[in-house]
Structure 1
Amino acid sequence: MKVTGDCTYFDCKRLPLILENETPGTVPIGLPISNCNVVLYGENGTDEGEIIVGGHCIAAGYFCYPYLMPLELVELPPDNYGGGPRSMCRVECYFKTGDFARKLLSGDLVFIGRKDRTMKVNGQRIAVEEIENTFREHPDVVDAAVICREVEAEILLFEAHLVTEKGDTEGETLKSSIRSWIQSKLPEKIIPRHIFFTRSLPLSSSGKVDYLSLAGSTYSSGRAVDNVEENSPDSRIQVVKRFVCVYI
Structure 2
Amino acid sequence: MENLVVQSNDSYAALHAGFHWQVPAEFNLAEVCCGRWARDTPDALAIIFESDSGCRAQYSYGQLQRAANRLSNALQRRGVGRGDRVAIVLPQRFETVVAHIAISQLGAIAMPLTHLFGADALEFRLRDSGALLAIADEVGLPLLQALRTQCPSLQTLITVGGQPQGEHEVCWMAALQAEPARFTAVQTKADEAALLIYTSGTTGDPKGALIPQRALIGNLSGFIASQNWFGFDPAEPGKPSDAVFWSPADWAWTGGLMDALLPTLYFGRTIVACQGRFAPEKAFELMQRHAVTHSFLFPTALKAMMKAVPQPSKRYQLKLQAIMSAGESVGDAVFTYCQKQLGVMVNEMFGQTEINYVVGNCSRFWPARPGSMGRAFPGHRVAVIDEEGKTCPPGVSGEVAVHRRDVQGALDPVFFLGYWGNQAASKAKFCGDAGNSWCRTGDRAHMDAEGYFWYEGRSDDMFKSAGYRIGPGEIEHCLIKHPAVANAAVVPKPDAERGNLVKAYVVLSPGHFGSAALVAELQDHVRAALAPYEYPKEIEFIDALPMTTTGKLQRRVLRLQEEARARLKGLRAKRQTRELLAQD
The answer to which structure, 1 or 2, has the higher relative contact order (CA under 8 A, 6+ apart) is 1
| Structure (1 or 2) with the larger CA radius of gyration | 2
Under a length normalisation based on structure 1, what TM-score does the superposition of the two structures give? Answer: 0.49
Give the structure with the larger helix fraction. Answer: 2
Query: Which of the pair is proportionally richer in strand?
Result: 1
- State the TM-score, normalizing by the size of structure 2: 0.24
